[in-house]
Copies of this chain bind each other. A is one copy, B any other.
Amino acid sequence: MADAFDSSDSQRGARPLRQAQAVTLDAPLRLESGVELSAVTVTYETYGRLDARGDNAVLVCHALSGDSHVARHGPDDDPGWWDLVVGPGKAIDTERTFVVCSNVLGGCRGTTGPNCIDPVSGRPWGADFPAITVGDMVEVQRRLLDHLGIERLRAVVGGSLGGHQALTWAVRHPERVRGCIALATSPRLTSQALAFDVVGRNAILHDPGWQGGQYYDEGPGPSVGLALARMLAHITYLSREAMDAKFDVARLQPREVATLFEKRFSVGSYLAYQGHRFVERFDANSYVTLSLAMDLFDLGATAEALRDALAPSRCRWLVLSFSSDWLFPPAQSRRIVDALIAAGKPVSYCDIEASGGHDAFLLEERLDLYGGMMHAFLDHLGDRPTVLPNAAAPLPESQPRSIFHGNRLDHELIVELIPPGASVLDLGCAIGLLLGRLRERGHERLVGVELNEAAVLTCIERGLDVVQADLEQPLSAFADGQFDVVVLSQTLQSVIDTEGIIDEMRRIGRSCIVSFPNFAYHRLRTMLYQQGRSPKAEGPYHFEWYNTPNRRFPSIADFEDFCRGKQIAIRDRLYLDSESGRRVEENEDPNWNADIAIFVLEGRAG
């Protein structure tokens, strides 16, 4: 075992963090367990400058195996773990923000942890290092910010275990956080993720080199166990697709790696290499300490508990998940988002389509999208946002939620139908044109729901709160009667589950506005009747029968029948002939003359 590693490589934490600073906070730290640490040293790095008003600080929290070196300080510096995101002109722009990143409590890269000297025994803490929580990590970060004179963060940002810290910041110190960006994270681990951690820890704790955790003085330490834990964890960071792409073509061509681990398969030599590298830079006691803190992190097993846990937060939120992440699967991010919605918090959310697995938030693959969202979100937290919405970017043709072409006369009428100051939920908000109008009109509580990720980005660039969701699914995060008005504008016809969406609107809104193209408009009727062809016209019906994104084809009369059948009270109705740009009155046979109808329905709590 021991000779699986060249022990001279095993000096943990040996790579110098050249620009890191360390501060010892002398006041005793009482951990959540009740144990007291007499003093804590924090190693941290900063980037950019704190502005005069102390208003531009961004705290970046690292994941399990990270450290304070989030980015290069200059071209000659060592690579940072998030160089893609943090730096001049990047998503977290160090020319405009003051970035702070510290090694976590319990870590092994300069902040107090198991490999530091226990002042009582005079020896490294080892396995006697007290159990810590994510809350303890955040408390140390809070003291660091006090030391740095930062009263309030523009934002706290973190992925994975870093996300757990960011979530904790937002709820523990609501007055000190204006924005929270949580990537690839969760309210608590899945049982599957927990199980992998258990196996990894068992591998470490049953390695003969473990020696009860006091292996610093001699021996290689639990190198094999730690390498096994890392190999296993590494598999969980990658998606199956990514592993196939990387290893499947030449699976029997391993790289030459100096290792006693199995290297019959290319994936084996890769894992062996990852295991070795990790043992060189990481301490097994820290791995046990930090993974346990992560495994015990728990903001609530139920929707209600999670909502209550997140209720104290007063920041704006950006939550991002990645589609192929199976360690922190998107459904867990949606739980966070749902709880924030239920608690009435301002939140934007997107599940980024990505192949990179859990590691996707560290990869270039979809940086345009997740980086763009972070950049815009941070920018709008400042006083003078500079990010301009990329409104010119056309939505993809197949985008099924915004098929309306031409001017949005209907928006004008919808705005008029909405009482001043009303809270509004816009389902299928596309790039946020209607919400933008309402914001100009002074509405404060505005939320959009949209499926297309490019449209979600544009909404965030506009500074709007937008949640990515599929209107075919129940919107159960939204509470009964949570909004004054719920809007479904030119979207009804592209939703398959008509009954479901109308039902959800009426549950959530005190009042509901539905606009849709009228399939019985005279041009369409005539076309089918006279020509015997599936109707087609300018506007929402300009598609061919075989490629229209429309899924439902209601007429005004159909919709009225529908409401009658479901005993839905219609409060108001407006009809438009969008070709002539004029309204069609009730006595002008709107089902023949209008191509667009707008109905105001009574919500259940209306």
Contacts and interface: CB of A to CB of B under 8 A. Distances in A.
Given A520-B528, A528-B528, A206 B1 contact: yes
A283 B153 CA distance: 57
A526 B525 contact: no
* From A199, A228, A520, A526, residue with most partner B Cβ within 10 Å: A199
B532 A194 contact: no
A260 interface: yes
A192 to B, nearest CB: 5
A326 B557 CA distance: 49
Contacts of A570: none
A288 to B, nearest CB: 10
A531 B557 contact: yes
Given A235-B192, A265-B295, A554-B546, A529 B532 contact: no
Nearest to A206: B224
Interface stretch (A60-68, A103-111, A243-251): A243-251
A529 B528 contact: yes
Given A301-B248, A545-B558, A262 B194 contact: no
Interface in A406-439: none
A205 interface: yes
Interface in A25-67: none
Nearest to A238: B192
A113 interface: no
A537 interface: no
A202 B206 CA distance: 14
A509 B190 CA distance: 48
Contacts of A264: 292, 295
A499 B547 contact: yes
A198 B271 contact: yes
Contacts of A534: 519-520, 553-555, 558
A355 B267 CA distance: 29
B533 A190 contact: no
A564 interface: no
Nearest to A244: B191
B561 A533 contact: yes
Given A191-B244, A195-B271, A262-B205, A553 B555 contact: no
A191 B558 contact: no
Interface string A244-281: 10111101000000001110110110011000000000
A388 interface: no
Nearest to A260: B206
Contacts of A555: 528, 532-534
Interface in A290-304: 292, 295, 301
A4 interface: yes
A600 interface: no
A232 interface: yes
A96 interface: no
A285 interface: no
Interface in A523-571: 524-526, 528-529, 531-534, 545-547, 551-558, 561-562
Nearest to A557: B532
A529 B531 contact: no
A532 B525 contact: yes
Interface in A169-217: 190-192, 194-196, 198-199, 201-203, 205-206, 208
Given A194-B265, A195-B235, A498-B546, A228 B202 contact: yes
Given A271-B199, A531-B557, A246 B526 contact: no
Name A's interface SS: helix
Nearest to A500: B546
Nearest to A245: B191
A231 interface: yes
Contact of A545 (B238, B240, B533, B553): B553
Contact of A190 (B191, B231, B243, B519): B243
A404 interface: no
A329 interface: yes
Given A231-B202, A249-B301, A261-B202, A525 B533 contact: no
Contacts of A592: 532
Given A192-B243, A529-B525, A552 B546 contact: yes
A94 interface: no
Contacts of A292: 264
Contacts of A533: 520, 555, 557-558, 561
Given A198-B271, A295-B265, A534-B553, A191 B251 contact: yes
Contacts of A228: 199, 202-203, 206, 228
A490 interface: no
A452 interface: no
Given A524-B528, A533-B555, A546-B562, 13 more contacts: A191-B251, A194-B268, A195-B231, A195-B247, A195-B271, A198-B267, A201-B262, A202-B272, A206-B260, A208-B208, A498-B545, A528-B528, A534-B558
22 contacts: A190-B248, A191-B240, A191-B243, A191-B244, A191-B246, A191-B267, A192-B238, A192-B240, A194-B247, A196-B232, A199-B228, A202-B261, A202-B272, A232-B232, A248-B301, A498-B545, A499-B546, A524-B528, A528-B528, A534-B554, A545-B554, A553-B553
Interface of A: 1, 4, 190-192, 194-196, 198-199, 201-203, 205-206, 208, 224, 228, 231-232, 235, 238, 240, 243-244, 246-249, 251, 260-262, 264-265, 267-268, 271-272, 292, 295, 301, 326, 329, 498-499, 519-520, 524-526, 528-529, 531-534, 545-547, 551-558, 561-562, 591-592
